[in-house]
A and B are shown apart, each in its own frame.
Chain A
Amino acid sequence: LAKTTQPISMDSYEGQEVNITCSHNNIATNDYITWYQQFPSQGPRFIIQGYKTKVTNEVASLFIPADRKSSTLSLPRVSLSDTAVYYCLVTAGGTSYGKLTFGQGTILTVHP
């Protein structure tokens, strides 16, 4: 599966929109992009998954350009409770199970 690269940390303030970009230059045709969120001393939680263009759910949006070599997780109007580590993963298409490879993730800190 393709390796992902994302910023080690980001800072924001309450009420702002936060965009976290992830690069995955070697993504395969069948691969999907998936984002997880992890709070300290808890297990990660699935946020969103997409293949191309834009996906939106009640928590976030995911933007994927046509070449799919990068993706951007967008968190609208963040609050202090959005402070967490965000992981970008590439997952094999056509299956719903199997190995996940987590990088170091992006530590997002939201300030008052």
Chain B
Amino acid sequence: DGGITQSPKYLFRKEGQNVTLSCEQNLNHDAMYWYRQDPGQGLRLIYYSQIVNDFQKGDIAEGYSVSREKKESFPLTVTSAQKNPTAFYLCASSPIQSSLYEQYFGPGTRLTVT
């Protein structure tokens, strides 16, 4: 089955620790994205990447870092500098060449930092 995998589904960390969220896709999509969603809110873009070894900051990149060493993988690190890291994190991907503007989303990781 083609799709996007995010792991783990739930993650708990102590304040001051860095944590890395995994995102893998086997859809052969060039572009990948990370969003954050807070309760009752829409999604906000953290980082996105259109090609391997290249990525751009989204609207709320402070306190986060990413890497794109492989086309299939786009891990997100939530650093201790992120002031309010508890949220639902969603990874997505999309093809570069397509007649439709459609992003495919993973199941999400719910991060709780105490």
**Residue positions of A touching B, CB distance < 8 A:** 32, 34, 41-46, 49, 87, 91-92, 95-105
Write out the residue numbers on chain A whose beta carbons fall within 8 Å of the beta carbon of B35: 102
> Beyond A43-B92, A46-B102, A49-B100, is A102–B42 a contact (Cβ under 8 Å)?
yes
A43 in contact with B106 (CB, 8 Å): yes
Contact assessment for A87 and B42 in the assembled complex, using a CB-CB cutoff below 8 Å: yes
- A34 in contact with B101 (CB, 8 Å): yes
Provide the residues of chain B in CB contact with A92, threshold 8 Å.
Answer: 101
Q: Is the CB of B43 within 8 A of A102?
A: yes
Q: Is the interface of A mostly helix, strand, loop or mixed?
A: loop
Q: Interface residue tally of chain B, by bracket?
A: 20 to 34
Residues of B near A42 (CB, < 8 A) are 105, 107-108
Min CB gap A91→B, angstroms: 4
Q: Tell me if B50 is interfacial: C-beta within 8 Å of chain A.
A: yes
> Which residues in B have their C-beta under 8 angstroms from that of A101?
45
Q: Are A44 and B41 in contact (CB under 8 A)?
A: no
Q: Is the Cβ of B106 less than 8 Å from the Cβ of A97?
A: no
Whole-angstrom distance between the alpha carbons of A45 and B4 in the complex? 12
